[in-house]
Amino acid sequence: MGDASHLCDRAARAAAHAQNVPLDVLRAISRAETGRGSESGLHPWPWTVNMEGAGKWFNSEDEARAYVFKHFKRGARSFDVGCFQINYKWHGAAFRSIDDMFDPMMNADYAASFLRDLYEEFNDWSAAAGAYHSRTPTYARSYAARFDQIRGSMSDVVQFANRRSDAGNGTNSGSGTGILASRRSAPLLGGGATRLGSLVPVSRDGSPARTAFVLLN
């Protein structure tokens, strides 16, 4: 798969530290969102796009960006990009550009800040993962089950690394200090039953957040 298969995990490690989220939680989420199977297991892929419900893996960032921009020009706004499948329509305003949304570090940091907020709401990482995908109970439970399966199947080496580098994460509710920590929003509402879930913030009264506007480079 090449070096790109490791970009999401590197970004997850940085985001886990910055946002006080367990590393194995972020790694499991990235695999649930963008995982590609290989002889060595399931690996996340940064150049993944879900365009209006259809998920695609691309060989390079340039190919993924070109695909998104082509559909953006025809009017598409509901699409997910990157390691953690951030949705443009609802979250694009938190980024300077679609290019930034593809950046593994920024993508991971934003996802981690939302997961931290959800953990503070549910006090359980499985429930937080389910809500990350959807607030609809059926979809949330299904996603949480997949998350638990992936998290539980991760190698002992990964779990040992988690314990060493993220000891105490998930028990302290201190505020995050990552790239996008100041851009947190309300808890999330998922967009449907597709495998690659969308993150859709809602206001406290349950109404959708405002539509994003993002400048294209």
Q: Specify the pLDDT at position 213.
A: 30
Let me know: does 18 contact 112? Beta carbons within 8 Å: yes
89 within domain boundaries: yes
The domain total for the chain is 1
22 within domain boundaries: yes
Buried b (16+ CB within 10 A) or exposed e, 90-112: bbbbbbeebbbbbbbbbbbbbbb
Q: Specify the pLDDT at position 158.
A: 52
49 within domain boundaries: yes
Q: Specify the pLDDT at position 178.
A: 40
Q: Specify the pLDDT at position 37.
A: 87
Q: Specify the pLDDT at position 120.
A: 98
Per-residue pLDDT of the chain (217 residues; tens, 9 = 90+): 457 889 999 999 999 999 999 999 999 999 999 998 888 889 999 999 999 999 999 999 999 999 999 999 999 999 999 999 999 998 899 999 999 999 999 999 999 999 999 999 999 999 999 999 999 999 999 999 999 999 999 854 454 444 444 444 443 333 333 433 333 333 333 333 333 344 543 333 333 333 333 333 3
Task: Residue 172: name the closest of 22, 13, 9 by CA.
Answer: 22
Q: Specify the pLDDT at position 38.
A: 83
Beta-carbon contacts of residue 85 (< 8 Å; ≥ 6 apart): 33, 34, 48, 50, 196, 197, 198, 199
Let me know: does 25 contact 129? Beta carbons within 8 Å: yes
98 within domain boundaries: yes
70 within domain boundaries: yes
77 within domain boundaries: yes
The pTM assigned to this predicted structure is 0.74
Q: Tell me the angle at which helices 7-19 and 104-122 cross, rounded to the nearest 10 degrees.
A: 50
Task: Residue 4: name the closest of 75, 78, 59 by CA.
Answer: 59
216 within domain boundaries: no
Q: How far is CA 212 from CA 89, 94, 130, 167, in A?
A: 5, 8, 24, 36
8 within domain boundaries: yes
Q: Specify the pLDDT at position 155.
A: 59
Domain that holds residue 43: 3-183
Q: Specify the pLDDT at position 41.
A: 85
Q: Specify the pLDDT at position 202.
A: 35
